[in-house]
């Protein structure tokens, strides 16, 4: 089985994959100081609950956007699963796509995995909308290449910034409010965040399509994608496991005989 690790700014996802099947996934808060030993104690106990053994893991791949975390994640793969992991963005790892940017080195490993996974599942001409620490709009062209992006603050980051900057405003949870116009502070804030992001997404998607001159499929991923899906007809599909699926494909491209 393949151990696929997606280390993001907020959370790290660990997935055990058997071919194209994702057998199990677990999520932990990203803490760069967490050691390989700590990861191993936590992860192997969760595997045991699913009747999975570390001995079943024979390969690993890592997408990481938190550089200080990489040492311990690779140590986990080497010491406890006896495998040398592929690391996305390492020069030796083939993505099978071009990065069509002025500064290709700035494209994050998770976003490249999303591009690969999105193209395999949906073909080209995609806007991949990832609701993470940032809200990313990544463009995948007709050939599957990573062709540009838009970056905006993430939903939870915006809520936290509003709470921190305005002493009279409370911290709120993101939810779909019943009405657009709020009659008290909390409903007004909920509306501003939720419907504000809906309007931003709809507006940016329309502008991207207009600028590129053709229709595009919009693939949503990330923890909050399902929350917005019911009110966003612009979404072609919601793919909660898109990054992991991209990592499965990148591993296949680097190990195929």
pLDDT in tens, the chain (257 residues): 999 999 999 999 999 999 999 999 999 999 999 999 999 999 999 999 999 999 999 999 999 999 999 999 999 999 999 999 999 999 999 999 999 999 999 999 999 999 999 999 999 999 999 998 899 999 999 999 999 999 999 999 999 998 888 888 899 999 999 899 999 999 999 999 999 999 999 999 999 999 999 999 999 999 889 999 989 999 999 999 999 999 999 999 999 75
Q: What is the mean pLDDT of the chain?
A: 95
Q: Is 110 a catalytic residue?
A: yes
Q: Please tell me if the domain spanning 2-87 has the same topology as the one spanning 104-245.
A: yes
pLDDT of residue 163: 87
Classified by CATH at the fold level, domain 2-87 comes out as: Nucleotidyltransferase; domain 5 (3.30.420)
pLDDT of residue 257: 58
Per annotation, catalytic residue among 110, 130, 138, 141: 110
In the chain, domain spans: 2-87, 104-245
Q: Which CATH number fits domain 104-245: 3.40.50.10610, 3.90.1300.10, 3.30.420.40, 3.20.20.140?
A: 3.30.420.40
Give Cβ neighbours of residue 14 (< 8 Å, ≥ 6 apart): 3, 4, 5, 25, 26, 27, 28, 43
pLDDT of residue 223: 84
């Amino acid at each position: 089985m393949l151990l696929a690790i997606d280390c993001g700014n907020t959370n790290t996802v660990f997935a055990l994959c058997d071919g194209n099947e994702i057998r199990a996934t677990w999520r932990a808060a990203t803490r760069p100081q967490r050691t390989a030993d700590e990861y191993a104690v936590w992860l192997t106990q969760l595997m045991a609950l699913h009747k999975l053994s570390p001995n079943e893991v024979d390969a690993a791949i890592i997408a990481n956007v938190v550089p200080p975390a990489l040492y311990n994640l690779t140590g986990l793969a080497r010491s406890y699963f006896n495998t040398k992991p592929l690391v996305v963005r390492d020069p030796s790892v083939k993505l099978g796509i071009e990065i069509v940017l002025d500064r290709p080195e700035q494209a994050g490993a998770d976003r490249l995995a999303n591009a690969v996974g999105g193209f395999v599942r949906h073909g080209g001409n995609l806007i991949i909308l990832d609701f993470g620490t940032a809200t990313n709009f990544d463009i995948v062209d007709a050939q599957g290449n990573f062709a540009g992006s838009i970056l905006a603050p993430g939903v939870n980051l915006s809520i936290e910034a509003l709470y921190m900057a305005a002493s009279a405003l409370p911290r709120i949870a993101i939810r779909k409010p019943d009405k657009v116009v709020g009659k008290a502070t909390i409903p007004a804030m909920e509306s501003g965040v939720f419907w504000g992001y809906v309007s931003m997404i709809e507006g940016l998607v329309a502008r991207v399509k207009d600028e590129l001159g053709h229709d595009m499929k919009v693939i949503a991923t990330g923890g909050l994608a399902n929350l917005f899906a019911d009110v966003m007809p612009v979404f072609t599909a919601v793919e909660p496991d898109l990054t992991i699926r991209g990592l499965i494909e990148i591993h296949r491209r680097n190990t195929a005989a």
